[in-house]
């Protein structure tokens, strides 16, 4: 179903069982500043997977691929050259920037910001209002072009409400980042980190780890 008020740009691949709700925009080409560090190129059409829902007022750019049964929440945005796996949820008002990969079954909650050049693996949980970054120089010096890289969040890791992930940090498999933590260096697998700067508090409880069947 495609709502009458939705905008679907030419060439967009929309399977019959997709739902595109009112005022959503799908398949839009990026419009970049002349000074943007993103690639200045026309990108191929957007590809939506079967059963995908693009909710009210959401925007999904061309050059991106969404897997099966993805939900893009109201007023959320997914930029160009992103690869979004099956059964991903992108919460209301969240933004996934360009050139980002999101693994299957990952949940990105409301108002989260996933920076460009980030990687979220399978079964990741990103809580509301999490913020990520990819530029230690905040737009100054040419070195920012060499070192531009978003965080990598490994399989099954969880990031709590309002946490901040600094450029290029790696959150280990099944690690737990506490609410409001500021992560400035890599987090080992299966530990809980809290505070600013984030520090290891303890190991993740065995009962919270993904089972072998859930990982398969």
Q: Using one digit for the tens of pLDDT, what is the confidence trace for 88-130?
A: 999 999 999 999 999 999 999 999 999 999 999 999 999 999 9
Supply the pLDDT for residue 42. Answer: 81
Is residue 30 very low, low, confident or very high in pLDDT (cuts 50, 70, 90)?
confident
Sheet holding 83-84, edge to edge: 65-66, 83-84, 101-102, 119-120, 152-153, 170-171
Q: Using one digit for the tens of pLDDT, what is the confidence trace for 8-19?
A: 999 999 999 999
Whether pLDDT at 216 is above 90? no
Whether pLDDT at 214 is above 60? no
Q: How far apart are the first and last CA of the chain?
A: 32
Each domain of the chain, given as residue ranges in start order, spans 1-30+42-99, 103-216
Structure tokens, 124: 């990741």
Q: Using one digit for the tens of pLDDT, what is the confidence trace for 154-213?
A: 999 999 999 999 999 999 999 999 999 999 999 999 999 999 999 999 999 999 998 644
Which CATH number is 103-216 given? 2.160.10.10
* Beta pairing, strands 71-72 & 53-54: parallel
CB 167 within 8 A of CB 149: yes
Neighbours of 141 (CB within 10 A): 11
Distance CA 188, CA 114 (A): 21
* Average pLDDT taken over every residue of the chain: 92
Structure tokens, 187: 């987090």
Superfamily of domain 1-30+42-99 in CATH is: Hexapeptide repeat proteins (2.160.10.10)
Supply the pLDDT for residue 162. Answer: 97
């Amino acid at each position: 179903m495609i709502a009458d008020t939705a905008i679907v740009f030419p060439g967009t691949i929309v399977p019959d069982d997709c739902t595109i709700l009112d005022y959503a925009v799908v398949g839009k080409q990026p419009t970049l500043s002349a000074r943007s560090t993103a690639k200045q190129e026309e990108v191929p059409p957007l590809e939506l997977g079967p059963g995908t829902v693009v909710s009210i007022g959401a925007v999904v750019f061309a050059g991106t691929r969404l897997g099966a049964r993805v939900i893009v929440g109201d007023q959320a945005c997914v930029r160009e050259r992103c690869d979004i796996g099956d059964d991903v949820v992108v919460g209301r008002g969240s933004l996934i920037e360009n050139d980002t990969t999101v693994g299957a079954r990952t949940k990105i909650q409301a108002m989260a910001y996933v920076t460009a050049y980030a990687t979220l693996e399978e079964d990741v949980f990103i809580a509301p209002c999490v913020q990520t970054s990819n530029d230690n120089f905040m737009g100054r010096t040419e070195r920012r072009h060499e070192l531009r890289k978003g965080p990598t969040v490994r399989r099954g890791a969880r990031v709590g409400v309002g946490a901040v992930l600094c450029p290029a940090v790696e959150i280990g498999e099944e690690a737990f980042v506490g609410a409001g933590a500021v992560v400035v260096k890599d987090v080992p697998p299966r530990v809980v980190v809290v505070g600013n700067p984030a520090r290891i508090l303890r190991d993740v409880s065995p009962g919270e780890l993904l089972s072998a069947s859930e990982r398969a």
